[in-house]
Structure 1
């Protein structure tokens, strides 16, 4: 198994993994290609070749984003995650500050409606005659 570019076998930026046995008697192997310096337009120039001893034709797979998995991380997803975490952190800090300020304010005892009316409009409150 190997990678080619424009029909030529690649040796740089290629990592040959181990050959590992499967439970059914078959095996698996990997040959990783580092694409960090390859532009998406150049992907079509690369293919992976699997040559099996005793088999006439090689199995050739063109490098195609839809068919080949990569370990690239989409930076837009990371940016969205960071913004969401920042908003949550700001909300938590704001709520904590609000609760601390509210706890420090002096608490007034509850007032019934007639006392409140008297406090707000003392001249309209009727007092019993002497």
Structure 2
């Protein structure tokens, strides 16, 4: 039958076989109902930049991230960044908090909260604490090691050329007096 090869799989079974259909429905159900909670991290590039709460490794991408104080949403809280895909098929997003007008003793009142938007009560939070903040270096603010090494090598070359020129002059000026 010419039409039967259209629906036949490698083993000759139809794609619409009841066993295959159960598998497809189960696969779709798992994809729709699967959720992965993120890991939350607090990052600081360098003072006085804001503290960034990074939620990474979550799935699906329908979520929100925000700061609270004493359990209430911050009235002037930052808008979360866009949700970005990661290489492992999960997502990440971040939200900033400017805490430099807040005393360090008050930091424990602040929490970064991640919540899925699907109506479930799944959430994760992390309390603002200077012990858990990870410091990151901005590539444009790193110490210019390459520049320093280049300057040192350049100065050494100039010194060697200068010393060589002095010795050359000294050697040939001594011969002129003979």
TM-score by length of 1: 0.50
Structure showing greater relative contact order (alpha-carbon pairs closer than 8 Å, 6 or more residues apart): 2
TM-score by length of 2: 0.39
Q: Which has the larger radius of gyration?
A: 1
